[in-house]
């Protein structure tokens, strides 16, 4: 029995790979290394460098290994880029998932945990957001994830493939034990950008808008530690193995922090002053995104352990200090 992890060399996927290896599962990773890193795949996993849209590599994997479960992390995930390159996003995200599902059907693999996103909700009318609220993505990235959720639904109805869609809020932090963390080229996410500023690699952080209808005028997000997020994936795998029906869950902490509060937290954790400038709003940014994860707690019996923003930032800071240039720079392993 083996678990196939699509995108298992990426930031979140590599934490999934580590967690499954830690519980002695046989792990097969498929990653095209477009944004993933070979070094992020822990020893013990079998890595195939290849693309989900390539049926031949999936044939090899499904014929070589007894895959029983799939975790699907592989996708393009930048909201801003998706606005300019919608067809690329549909091609890679929807095309990749479509091919994967066709092959799962062909080889009789019936369980998949899928990385979806809070971006499916667009600008929510109220927070915290629950799974039954309307979905109306405000960008092609969110649309592609929603299209895959719908595809999974119908593949379940027709072919018995059961799925759990996990709608992530803002994932951050680094592995508390293993030496893996967040390394995007280029980096666009708030916490690593502030940490790069703390390391002196950037002059300042641009705060995208301070005139939002929030307490300090900057956007509020729900930050979840990558380790907690992955623990929810393990619960989701168990849930499906136990016969659970297809389902959708939000994954967040249920509390929001503004961009300014994140900067303050990084200053407290690193002991460095973070120079900042107020920049124009970034297109497509909702003012406030906060999850209700009550359903995941209830149905999956999931309990996040590192909810404190200080702890989340601290684990990311430790990794960034060890790997100031990311995986490319090597660093202490």
Residues known to be catalytic: 141
Q: Check binding of 29 to ligand UFG (CB under 6 A).
A: no
Q: Check binding of 120 to ligand UFG (CB under 6 A).
A: no
Among 117, 144, 247, 306, binds ligand UFG (CB under 6 A): 117
Residue 128: asked if its preceding bond is cis (omega within 30°), the reply is yes
Pairing of strands 288-289, 220-221: parallel
**CA-closest candidate to residue 228, choices 303, 163, 291, 289:** 303
Q: Report in angstroms how near the CB of residue 59 gets to ligand UFG at its nearest.
A: 30
Residue 276 has phi, psi (to 5 degrees) of -140, 160
Q: Check binding of 308 to ligand UFG (CB under 6 A).
A: no
Helices (H), the chain: 11-22, 55-64, 79-84, 86-89, 95-107, 140-159, 190-198, 226-241, 259-270, 294-299, 309-322
Minimal CB distance residue for ligand UFG: 219
**β-sheet with 257-258: strand ranges across:** 257-258, 220-221, 288-289
Which is closer to ligand UFG, CB of 84 or CB of 188?
188
Which is closer to ligand UFG, CB of 103 or CB of 221?
221
Which is closer to ligand UFG, CB of 68 or CB of 260?
260
CA dist 120 → 115, 139, 166, 173, 270 (Å): 12, 9, 11, 23, 34
Q: 180 to 219, contacts with ligand UFG by CB under 6 A?
A: 188-190, 193, 205-208, 219
Q: Check binding of 250 to ligand UFG (CB under 6 A).
A: no
Q: Report in angstroms how near the CB of residue 144 gets to ligand UFG at its nearest.
A: 11
Which is closer to ligand UFG, CB of 193 or CB of 269?
193
Which is closer to ligand UFG, CB of 68 or CB of 117?
117
Q: Check binding of 135 to ligand UFG (CB under 6 A).
A: no
Decide: 35 and 58 in contact? Cβ < 8 Å: no
Q: Check binding of 159 to ligand UFG (CB under 6 A).
A: no
d(Cα 204, Cα 274) in Å, to the nearest integer? 7
Among 221, 225, 314, 323, binds ligand UFG (CB under 6 A): 221
Q: Report in angstroms how near the CB of residue 219 gets to ligand UFG at its nearest.
A: 3
d(Cα 49, Cα 34) in Å, to the nearest integer? 10
Q: Report in angstroms how near the CB of residue 259 gets to ligand UFG at its nearest.
A: 5
Q: Check binding of 17 to ligand UFG (CB under 6 A).
A: no
Q: 269 to 298, contacts with ligand UFG by CB under 6 A?
A: 282, 285, 289
Decide: 56 and 74 in contact? Cβ < 8 Å: no
Which is closer to ligand UFG, CB of 117 or CB of 270?
117
d(Cα 228, Cα 129) in Å, to the nearest integer? 19
Residues that bind ligand UFG (CB under 6 A): 77, 79, 117-119, 141, 170, 188-190, 193, 205-208, 219, 221, 259, 282, 285, 289
């Amino acid at each position: 029995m083996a678990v196939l992890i699509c995108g298992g060399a990426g930031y979140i996927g590599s934490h999934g790979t580590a967690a499954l290896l830690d519980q002695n599962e046989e792990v097969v990773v498929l990653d095209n290394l477009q944004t993933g890193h070979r070094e992020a795949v822990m020893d013990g996993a079998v890595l195939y460098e290849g693309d989900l849209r390539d049926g031949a590599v999936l044939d090899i994997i499904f014929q070589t290994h007894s895959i029983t479960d799939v975790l699907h992390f592989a996708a393009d995930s930048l909201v801003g880029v998706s606005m300019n390159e919608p067809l690329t996003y549909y091609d890679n995200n929807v095309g990749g998932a479509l091919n994967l599902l066709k092959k799962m059907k062909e080889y009789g693999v019936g369980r998949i945990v899928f990385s979806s996103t809070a971006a499916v909700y667009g600008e929510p009318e109220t927070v915290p957001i629950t799974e039954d609220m309307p979905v109306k993505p405000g960008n092609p990235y969110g649309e592609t994830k929603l299209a895959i959720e719908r595809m999974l639904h119908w593949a379940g109805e027709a072919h018995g493939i059961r799925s759990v869609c996990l709608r992530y809020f803002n994932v951050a932090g680094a592995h508390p034990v293993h030496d893996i963390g967040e390394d995007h080229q280029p980096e666009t996410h708030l916490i690593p950008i502030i940490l790069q500023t703390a390391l002196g690699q950037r002059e300042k952080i641009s705060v995208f808008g301070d005139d939002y209808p929030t307490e300090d005028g900057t956007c509020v997000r729900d930050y979840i530690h990558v380790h907690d997020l992955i623990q929810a994936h393990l619960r989701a795998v168990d849930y499906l193995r136990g016969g659970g029906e297809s389902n959708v869950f939000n994954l967040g902490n249920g509390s929001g922090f503004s961009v300014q509060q994140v900067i303050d937290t990084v200053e407290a954790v690193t002991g460095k002053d973070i120079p900042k400038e107020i920049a124009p709003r970034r297109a497509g940014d909702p003012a406030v995104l906060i999850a209700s994860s009550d359903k995941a707690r209830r149905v999956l019996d999931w309990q996040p352990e590192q909810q404190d923003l200080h702890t989340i930032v601290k684990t990311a800071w430790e990794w960034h200090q060890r790997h100031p240039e990311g995986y490319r720079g090597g660093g202490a392993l």
